[in-house]
């Protein structure tokens, strides 16, 4: 009867460091694999567009070092997916370089490193646009057009289990993956050990965010997932956390409008009939999941396109009269920007925190707080223009002309006199799927022997 144990120490490797105590407890539980996801599109399109990491390299290196040393010490494979936040080729290369450096630093015995890339050439995508199998949109998007593709700076494909399984079959001890489906990173290891597809993909689903499936809430703690022929079990490694029926079932609904289906390249995990059972205070068992193969394999694509350069301004308001008329204050500032730059060729955004800065028009509480923080974003084709748009849109808040105001001191204060250069503004241009004949064709794989 196929069985497997996997520990996941971090739901987004590098975004914040793993917690060492629960990780060491997980290692002591003798897992068959140590694995983690290192990417997310939660961070927005900027890192993909600029080909950078949003996580500090020191934190990425710290987690890679902890996982590598543990995996080599107990002689089990280590798997990392979506390297460096985005899984672009340069992020994969950086992680491969870090593994080399760590192996040299610790004089590790030779081991086999496998890695694969996920970037997709635009011309490969262009060939599918207008074909019998167009590049279909997700989340209500239309099929991808040539113009939207031309607006895209970089595209990655989201790998399923297939390149990971290929590298495991080739005997790799460490795998660094490009952009990947979160659950596929773990499911590949389970499938390699012969588990059912249903159990493998549910194991991946529950492990992908590490201790997010446990309670009380505490991120970056290690959890252990297992398949032993009677479903999937998940156990919290932190002594004060528990994987409960509520926390595990709740995680199935995490980051999705549909809590029942997890789509991957080649099919979907159906969780409608899942049964959750508390088998000890820190462990829940899940049964009843099903895997439904797809009639045609489609791979998700993510692409980002640049909008412009960006500057940020910060203003604060405590005056009750100004707060009561904050919409008119912003309208005044916008009018001054329109007067200088016209109404097109740039973007100007206001976020009013203390009123509706988080939820916007969906905010149900209509009474503003006693103080407000206004974040102003100016976006334009050049740095000079973006800075001036933002500066005008921020400073003119101070000069807003409101009825019944007698003083000249203004009702707005500035945290800083200047506006701040931020990362360039990007938008998601590609959130689509591409039909493929071979689920590994977009993911070139490589292997190399590392170590002293």
Encode pLDDT of 146-199 as tens digits. 999 999 999 999 999 999 999 999 999 999 999 999 999 999 999 999 999 999
Cα separation, 390 vs 396, whole angstroms: 10
**What is the pLDDT averaged over residues 220-241?**
94
pLDDT at 434 over 80: yes
**What is the pLDDT averaged over residues 375-383?**
98
Contact in structure between 117 and 444 (CB atoms under 8 Å): yes
Contact in structure between 164 and 189 (CB atoms under 8 Å): yes
What is the pLDDT at residue 411?
85
Domain ranges of the chain: 4-118+158-297+436-450, 306-427
* Omega within 30 of 0 (cis) for the link into 216: yes
pLDDT at 256 over 70: yes
pLDDT at 406 over 80: no
DSSP state of 378: E
3-state secondary structure of 95: helix
Phi, psi of 240 (to 5 degrees): -100, 5
What is the pLDDT at residue 452?
63
Nearest C-alpha neighbor of 385 from the set 311, 439, 284, 443: 311
- In this prediction, residue 222 has a pLDDT band, given cuts at 50, 70 and 90, of very high
Who contacts 270 (Cβ-Cβ below 8 Å, separation ≥6)? 260, 261, 289, 290, 291, 292
Contact in structure between 105 and 200 (CB atoms under 8 Å): no
pLDDT at 366 over 90: no
Phi, psi of 168 (to 5 degrees): -65, -40
What is the pLDDT at residue 1?
61
**What is the pLDDT averaged over residues 426-440?**
97
pLDDT at 273 over 90: yes
User: Looking at the domain covering 306-427, what would its CATH class be?
Assistant: alpha beta
Contact in structure between 212 and 251 (CB atoms under 8 Å): yes
Nearest C-alpha neighbor of 446 from the set 86, 163, 99: 163
This prediction has a pTM of: 0.94
Cα separation, 319 vs 258, whole angstroms: 44
pLDDT: is 410 or 263 the higher one? 263
What is the pLDDT at residue 3?
86
Contact in structure between 286 and 259 (CB atoms under 8 Å): no
């Amino acid at each position: 009867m196929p069985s497997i144990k996997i520990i996941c120490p971090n739901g987004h490797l590098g975004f914040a460091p793993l917690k060492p105590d629960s990780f060491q407890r997980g290692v002591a539980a003798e897992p068959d694999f140590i694995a983690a996801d290192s990417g997310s599109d939660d961070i927005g399109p900027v890192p993909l567009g600029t080909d950078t990491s949003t996580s500090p390299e020191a934190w990425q290196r710290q987690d890679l070092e902890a996982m590598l040393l543990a995996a080599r010490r107990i002689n089990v494979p280590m798997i990392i997916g979506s390297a460096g936040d985005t899984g672009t080729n340069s992020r994969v290369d950086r992680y491969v370089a870090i593994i080399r450096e760590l192996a040299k630093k610790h004089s590790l015995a030779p081991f086999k490193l496998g890695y694969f890339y996920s970037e997709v050439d635009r011309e490969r995508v262009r060939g599918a646009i207008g074909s019998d199998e167009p590049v279909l949109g997700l989340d209500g998007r239309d099929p991808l057009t040539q113009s939207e593709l031309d607006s895209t700076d970089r595209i990655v494909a989201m790998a399923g289990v297939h390149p990971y399984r290929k590298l495991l079959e080739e005997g790799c001890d460490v795998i660094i993956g490009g952009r990947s489906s979160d659950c596929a990173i773990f499911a590949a290891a389970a499938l390699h050990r012969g588990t059912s597809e249903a159990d493998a993909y549910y194991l991946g689903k529950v492990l992908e965010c590490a201790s997010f499936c446990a309670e009380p809430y505490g991120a970056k703690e290690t959890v252990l997932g297992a398949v032993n022929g009677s479903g999937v079990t998940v156990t919290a490694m932190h002594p004060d956390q528990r994987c409960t029926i509520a926390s595990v079932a709740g995680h199935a609904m995490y980051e999705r409008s549909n809590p029942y289906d997890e789509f991957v390249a080649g099919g979907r995990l159906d969780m409608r009939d899942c049964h959750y059972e508390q088998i000890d205070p820190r462990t829940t068992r899940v049964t009843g999941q099903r895997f439904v193969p797809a009639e045609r394999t489609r791979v998700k694509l993510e692409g980002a396109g640049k909008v412009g350069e960006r500057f940020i301004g910060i203003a604060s308001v405590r005056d009750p009269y100004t707060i009561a008329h904050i919409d008119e204050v912003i309208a005044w500032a916008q009018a001054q920007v329109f007067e200088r730059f016209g109404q097109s060729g740039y973007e100007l955004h206001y976020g009013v925190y203390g009123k509706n800065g988080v939820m916007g028009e969906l905010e149900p509480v209509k009474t503003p707080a006693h103080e407000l923080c206004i974040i102003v974003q100016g976006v334009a084709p050049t740095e000079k223009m973006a800075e001036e748009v933002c500066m005008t849109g921020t400073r003119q808040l101070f000069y807003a002309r409101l009825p019944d105001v007698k003083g000249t001191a203004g009702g707005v204060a500035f945290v800083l006199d200047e506006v701040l250069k931020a990362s360039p503004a990007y938008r998601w241009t590609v959130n689509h799927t591409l039909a493929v004949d071979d689920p590994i064709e977009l993911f070139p794989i490589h292997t190399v022997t590392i170590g002293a």
